[in-house]
Amino acid sequence: MDPILDLREVSKVYGSGETAVQALTGATLQVRAGEVVLVEGPSGSGKTTLLSIMGCLMKPTAGQVMVKGRDIVQLKERDMPQVRAGTFGFIFQGFNLFPALTALENVAVTIRMKDPRARKVHVEAARLLGLVGLGDRMHHLPADLSGGQKQRVAIARALACSPPVILGDEPTAALDSKTGLAVMKLLQSLAREEGRAVVVVTHDHRLEQFSDRVIRVEDGTVLSDRPSLAPEPHGRSGPTNPAVAIRTGLEVGRNERQ
């Protein structure tokens, strides 16, 4: 299977001259559909820069970034938003929800932004919230949701318009341990069931149990790219439907801690 993401000798320098900072040096890696990849490393190691380049949020200073076989380095800046919208869903540590909009409206507005011609937007938004186990909370404002519920709204939003790649920048960092593991289990289920590629930047080594590979980044360099020490095989018995899977780690919509 050809990789959906293929980075070749990617480097990134911020600034110039005496103030230049080498954030990333010669990074080479591939990500395939259905794969869960963790990116680990200390703060300031280049993890977020790597994720931003993967997600076409910025271009590298040098190297190739192939997205579905297309080198985004050669694209004009005006073409980048279309590539992002059609390829990636983003999940962030801070949720980034609109506080005045309900969970349903937060997902619906993302669908409209990605595809202004989309029809039955609220029906699709409701389907995505049901997929992540929030069907009974879709009309609640973010202030009325727990941390885990907010992050699942963010995941539903990331799934808008069916992007083949989900990128998460510390998506479990603001959650308690039980909720964080349940969220990661959900992301794994989406990879297994729907063939999405999932890349997650994290400091939490416990998340490795839900991954296929672990990439270690230090001082802007990819030090290692290895198989997970304790992956859950694709054929493992147990719930595989994403909405069911999250219930195995956490009762949906109830008894969550902030």
Q: Which residues pair with 31 in a beta bridge?
A: 5
Contact between residue 112 and residue 147 where contact means Cβ atoms under 8 Å apart: no
pLDDT of residue 184: 93
pLDDT of residue 230: 63
| pLDDT averaged over 10-residue windows placed end to end, the chain, 258 residues | 94 93 96 96 93 95 95 92 91 90 96 87 93 92 94 91 92 86 91 94 92 96 90 45 45 42
pLDDT of residue 131: 86
pTM, full prediction: 0.84
Tokens representing residue 37 in the block: 């990849």
Supply the DSSP string of 36-88, one letter for each residue. Answer: EEEEE--TTSSHHHHHHHHTTSS--SEEEEEETTEEGGGS-GGGHHHHHHHHE
Q: Is the dihedral of CA 20, 22, 26, 28 positive or negative?
A: negative
What domains, with CATH codes, occur in the chain? 5-13+34-249 (3.40.50.300)
Tokens representing residue 153 in the block: 């709204």
179/93 Cα distance (integer angstroms): 13
Listed residue (161, 162, 163, 164) closest to 121, CA to CA: 161
